[in-house]
Structure 1
Amino acid sequence: MNDALNQLQPYPFEKLRALLSGVQITTDKAPIALSIGEPKHRSPDFVAAALSANLDQLAVYPTTLGIPALRETIAAWCSRRFGLPVGVFDPARNVLPVNGTREALFAFTQAVVKRDVAPPKGPGLVVSPNPFYQIYEGAALLAGAQPHYLPCLEAHGFNPDFDAVSDDIWQRCQILFLCSPGNPTGALIPVDTLKKLIALADKFDFVIAADECYSELYFDEANPPAGLLTACGELGRHDFKRCVVFHSLSKRSNLPGLRSGFVAGDAEILQAFLLYRTYHGCAMPVQTQLASVAAWGDEVHVKANRDLYREKFDAVLAILHDVLDVQHPDGGFYLWAKTPIDDETFTRELFAHEHVTVVPGSYLSRHVDGHNPGANRIRLALVAPLAECVAAAERIRDFVKGLPV
């Protein structure tokens, strides 16, 4: 077996199951899970109809590149959403459908990381925020690279302090992972920062991989969050050199089970990634592609989705503000709350006394230089129905009020 498998850490939810195993529940209250970021809002009926209407495509081998209709729909969506000039985003060269961003982020890293690189670029680094989506780390290790973590602290708006990164780190960087809105913090990376990172990518020759799967969950309808493509467009960088974005229908359209997303950007990188994926054998089924065309072509259900999250955030924060240090995020569907006691104890005791499940922040982060930026924080996923989210918030409030002073 690949020796790098021994370097993989347990997934956060494996750690959570171990933490809660054997805990004696001291209440008869029904369980409420705010732990897993699985959208629970209703999937669009018209997408299900498009899927079922094309089941005859079960008899067709899909191509890795995908059908033109899907790539054209995605290219048009990217141009509208991120303000790109008409015609600069080529459906045949700048877009590649994938089976959700999780597998794409992993596979992309295997394709991009260069092995046996001589100094000063080697050994190669995959740089990511901390806390982070654990796929970034696992993909780096299995590609033969070394993860490097940039803490996301409140002092910097829960974004990495990119100005504090040394030239030596940038010199060794092969992939810089970004996540905006961030998981779990909800922080947005400003477009001016994205432009600075593009300049660094040019100077030090690394690829920016922007995980933007939460990009359509925001709260100000008049100001959708900027993305890496926005920065490219404003710079006139219409070749999208060294810039690749990852998007998904899972959060945007409440379709996690459809396993549908896309990778877009630098055509040269995508051409090589397409070659990798052709051997990888991960083409999206045609019926799924046709259902995805329907989803990417509609914004009404996406706005309705945001309205539901907005209602939940307002209700939950009104309850929690008096007992926890927690801010309204800029995007996403998570709250990143400080805990008055250590995050593992808080999680375990909350589960025992109130039957509410959350994730310890330290499980989503790594210790670097003796500090874990997720310590004494919990992640709350507001994916349950409004009434359940409100009930969970009330239980958390009561639990915190009952803690020893």
Structure 2
Amino acid sequence: MSFSTPPTKLVFLIADGMGDWPVEALGGQTPMEAAATPVMDRLAREGLVGLCRTVPEGLAPGSDVANMSLLGFDPGSHHTGRGPIEAAAMGLALAPDDVVFRLNTVTVSGLADDGLMRDYSAGHIATDVSTRLVERLGRECLPEGYALFPGVQYRHLLVARGAAGREEAHIAVRPPHDITDQGIAADLAEFRRVPALWDFVRKAAAVLSGPDNPSKANAVWPWGQGRALTLPDFAATFGLRGAVVSAVDLVKGLGRAAGMAVLDVPGATGLLETNYEGKVAAALEFLKDGDFVFVHVEAPDECGHGGDAAGKTEAVARFDARIVAPLVAALGDTAALVIACDHLTPLAIRTHAADPVPFLFWARGVTPSGVAAFTEREAAATGLAVAPGHALLPRAIDWMRQG
């Protein structure tokens, strides 16, 4: 590499779940191959392209694990569960022996052993509606020693006070987005291992079945539990003053736990219709004085979970046109870029896969990998592999500073 003036800023642009497998409905292409992505393709032709293993062996391929890796922290050392990361986003004060669950409002065919998980998001329930419902459940259904905290849309938190040594800490309930249209008997058996938790789940379903519930939510689903999250300070670890931009609490929680700035963007939804321009503006404003920004877009993942090939292709195209393109135009040679997804969310399975993810690194003067476009197949063909995943950020810093 040979930079006339090495860049001073580093920007990570993450399209959640963007990677995929070939899709019959797309003529054997992946959404990355089918989407119009002229800017990412140009950056790939001019940059380094390869694969990164963001999910360590033995850990579930969730956004919590994968984004922790992309932020440079080893999930094998630091990951305690999905709930604790989102608790950090809310700034919840947790005692060392508290256990915090992520709690979804969901739609099931019935809360019984022959029931199916129909929708992990209860139709992407509106935040104002879910907040009222969760507050009511907190008043009417909670057992002693538990607390409920409303969040955004279908994402909430349930805290079991002092439960680190109890059965609550060890139940193995599957993430609801992993089991769309699948049976829930095994998960209900896990809930039943904790009578107080099972009583809450049953009472909540009874309340939600009432006539004054305007939403599709007919059950709650506590999962991803663990003790409070702690991460090393990002600036002290990497020598960069950093920020995160995201609509989802788990990314905000990772940033807050690492002492990073968390930039809130009005109208950021985590869906295909979101405030792309607001995310770009927030990132550029921070980079006036900051050194690193992690911009996260959720829409490809949501479309992957929904099995929506056309929507996912459009989400990738919008990421290119409305996130990547304006940031590249505004930053010019002053920044180095890493573009990646955290994990694959293949349309064929409608959940996450642990495959290595495609990434590109771009800075003016970098020696190109020789690819034609930014796709999964092109990334695999270069032979460049970064593993473990938390090595990608330090590697990018080294690449950026080589002159």
| Structure number with higher relative contact order (C-alpha < 8 Å, ≥ 6 residues apart) | 2
TM-score (norm 2): 0.30
Task: Decide which structure has greater helix share.
Answer: 1
Task: Decide which structure has greater strand share.
Answer: 2
TM-score (norm 1): 0.30
